Structure 1
């Protein structure tokens, strides 16, 4: 504690505080110190916090669990290292559960979940709040496997999960697309007779939608109360991501008939549904309806949806007019959506406009422009962009795909050979490629060139990550069963064409969830109608 104490006394000296101040009734009152720290914990007032810390030490209160936990949270507002140092130096083993929980929550809120996990492990006793805080923290930080692991440990510790626990773990299942885990957790929810409020109902609908089971999501929607807008929003957004635009439109009409007022999230779902299916006129009407009838002021996400709607449909000038007419500054997401549309529809001139508006460029931005030039055979311009990338050390985004089997998530990268069953996976893939070629499949190399930002470039298109994941699914599943693969990027055109033919040859349903939406491949066709 020497570092913190010396700093505190130094600050007190600079502030002109006299030694006699330590003995006044104001500072000697433990409750008043607590009150002071309660005010400081969100104030970022380093002078006040360090000064109060010095007073606490002088008066002998440094072992007080309540004061120490408040000090930690106060230090967290401006200096993480001070907070960690304090916890290393004080005898926190006499903290009660509440103090531990508050400290753990503070570190998670500031994004330091690893230190929060260390504190959790040192707790002599944990309660439901302790587990919920950690599981929720893992989910918010996209550390889903750890969330699942802690949930299992929680159950084995005989701590009964509540609605907050289930809400967090259901969200984790949705983000990963882990259907088997989703079914297991839904079973636990039913088994423990947990009452479904609108939060859990919405979460379940969202979970099954993201896990590829839109039919199950619809069944849950019909079986729960519809008196909260969030339940309707989950259903509309679920239908949107599955490309079921007309179902989303019908659900919204039903929502209006039930006198449920839509909110801004409702219209994001509707506009997304229209965008994924090319319903430009419907999109225009909903964008107008939002402000005209429901007095909802369009936000960035609504303008972004309109740019995406027009961009996907090839109406680049109209998309650009939306951007220029925005009453707020377009963010990086909007410009990237526009840049992507320029790449898809081969308009390098407008692509350059989009790129000029991006102050911080990542790999995808450079590659999008490069591939836009390639699409119109401007090879010199494309080469200059690639040279710039190499000069600046910019590396392309790495594509990842994963598939769930046996309660575990198996992840693949392009050309991946790290899996324990790699040899068998590659044998299956090579055999499948041979059979597909016999059916007339030819790799779409020119189109893949335009989509190269969505997958790490490799010499052989055979080994894209989603193909490896599918090969593993074929290896481990029975003939005729459905296979589902998830991917962190937009699936490339070559893989999309390949998946369609595989579904026809093997007579199997293949579901791919990419960054944009769901693709259901069956009998040589895709649910997206090749529009995504």
Structure 2
């Protein structure tokens, strides 16, 4: 009796096995023919017409079909079924599901598979894909956690983190990752170098950038146009325009991006005439400019006060080169006009633009209104903005404060609080002894804070003896004069300069980078301090470079 029952069961299992193998073959055939949707339709028909349960091979094929057809719903349904049927989710099943979840930005589900299913079997590719997806969405901390947990890392893993640091405004961490990568025995490639050079450029870490450059030469890295552009950009943004030109003159200049980097470098140093001359040289060598070239050229004109040249180049851009100006090109011309104090003309330029002005255009006008004391036009600019950032509120408040209209300034701050807009904090960086130091406005977190503030106090007293008067009207609060002065005295670039004075010898050039545009008070203070100390102070703010020497600035007070 038992033997007969066993024979019947065996025959049934054999029949089911044959049927399932046949069905799996049908799905596989549809996949091989490139019709994954047919495979999914066949799977649905199979579920409706037979009592047999699909096995792990069926699910592997179905999920492969889901991946090829990018059908997330079908994949999630299949995922639920395999869990319900207790089918083991091994790598052949988990891998296509993992890729599909990532493709549809379902990072949480992909991470779950990575942790619970793939685990130690996951190779670097799986982790790299998650890291890239997280970094693109600005989730640096989560990406870093995935990186730390990865059982296997490769060069792509390290490169992704270095580039991600740069993209997410973490340049110091990018340099740290580069050092750790080297310490782990990985050989950097061109991508590694271009990313870390960009990090150096962000914070003005010239010493570190020079070491990276030497390492590239030692390892005989092939200099393509991307690396050449990155080197020029690094040296220019770290304050050494001469070193940038030396690189530019020593390489093959057969790509427009190399010329663009050099013209941009000249622009941020205020070398407008040199930028125009280099553009002419570029044309004579037969290279066609692009939109980036003209943006760099127009910016150079703006920073040098070359209003008519900017207008001329905008016309040439369309009429001679057939490049349609984008909003950033109009913005550079508006900037040039507004910086020159021609605010009404700048406003007319905005009204005559061929494209709809955005918040950046109105912000340019608002910034000029602050410098040239035009609260009336400043209000027009603010009211035209669809949305306002912290900088817009601060600018408008500063305009009112400069006019000593404290009530209006306070109203702006109240509006900012009501809209839950947080003021962006000023940050500065200084590279001393091969290490990069970061300072925030009013910062007291540095290990040498006591000595920094002692030096800062000494510099403030010496500046006053030279006739410097703090511009307390810039402080957007109706408080005592002493409080206004104290607020100005702890701006991040002043703390950075004080630290450089503390740690370097007489005559050493001081170099500081800042994330915001430097204020008028700091600008005047730097001029006086450069005279008092008989030292060059090089400050790169969000807009351009300022070289302070013997009580004057390279921008000629035009920025």
TM-score (norm: length of structure 1): 0.89
SS of equivalent to 1:260: coil
Q: State the 4+ residue runs in structure 1 displaced beyond 6 angstroms.
A: 15-18, 21-27
1:85 aligned partner: 112
Query: How far apart are residue 395 of structure 1 and its match?
Result: 4.2
Which SS does the other structure have where 1:368 is aligned? Answer: helix
* Match for residue 76 of structure 2 among 27, 45, 50: 50
d(CA) in 2 for partners of 1:386 and 1:107? 35
Q: Give the match's secondary structure for 2:112.
A: helix
Which residue among 483, 486, 489 is the counterpart of 1:459?
Answer: 486
Deviation at 1:69, TM superposition (A): 4.0
Query: Kindly tell me: are residues 56 and 315 of structure 1, through their superposed partners in 2, closer, same or farther at Cα, counting changes over 3 Å?
Result: farther
Q: Please give the residue correspondences for 1:93-112 in structure 2 after superposition, counting only pairs within 5 Å.
A: 93-112=120-139
1:280 lines up with 2:310 in the alignment: no
Asked if the contact 2:299/2:332 (under 8 Å) is kept, the reply is yes
Partner of 2:180: 153
Task: Check whether the contact 1:46–1:78 (CA below 8 A) recurs between aligned residues.
Answer: no
Cα offset, 1:336, TM superposition: 1.2
> Shift in Å at residue 133 of structure 1?
1.8
Question: How far apart in 2 are the matches of 1:230 and 1:142?
Answer: 23
Aligned to 2:154: 127
Displacement of 1:136: 1.6
- The structure having more radius of gyration, on CA atoms, is 2
2:75 pairs with 1:28: no
Counterpart of 1:205 (choices 223, 232, 242) is 232
**Pairing partner for 1:477 from 478, 499, 504:** 504
Query: Shift of the alpha carbon at 1:30?
Result: 4.3
Gaps of 5+ in 1: 1-11
User: How far, CA to CA, are the matches of 2:46 and 2:213 in structure 1?
Assistant: 62
Match of 2:6 in 1: none
Deviation at 1:449, TM superposition (A): 5.7
Query: CA distance change for structure 1 residues 136 and 235 in 2, over 3 Å: closer, same or farther?
Result: same
**Partner of residue 381, structure 1:** 408
Match of residue 16 from structure 2: none
Does residue 190 of structure 1 match 2:190? no
Once the two structures are TM-superposed, the CA of residue 391 in structure 1 deviates from its matched residue by: 4.6
Q: Secondary structure at the match of 2:366?
A: helix
Partner residue in 1 for 2:293 = 266
Report the Cα distance in structure 2 between the residues aligned to 1:389 and 1:102, rounded to whole angstroms.
Answer: 39
Instruction: After TM superposition, give the deviation of residue 328 of structure 1 in Å.
Output: 2.6
The 1:514–1:125 alpha-carbon spacing in structure 2 relative to 1, beyond 3 Å, is: same
2:397 to 352, 370, 386: 370
By how many angstroms is 1:59 displaced? 9.4
* C-alpha distance in 2 between matches for 1:472 and 1:363: 28
| 1:91-490 correspondence to structure 2 within 5 Å | 91-392=118-419, 394-446=421-473, 459-490=486-517
Deviation sequence 1:450-475 (CA, Å, 0-9, x none): 9x9xxx97734322221111111011
TM-score, normalised via structure 2 length: 0.84
**What per-residue deviation string (whole Å, max 9, x for no partner) do you get for residues 145-178 of structure 1?**
2222221121112111111111111111111211
Q: Is structure 2 residue 60 aligned with structure 1 residue 19?
A: no
- SS of the residue corresponding to residue 90 of structure 1 reads helix
SS at the partner of 2:396? helix
Q: Matches of 2:545 and 2:263 in 1, distance apart?
A: 14
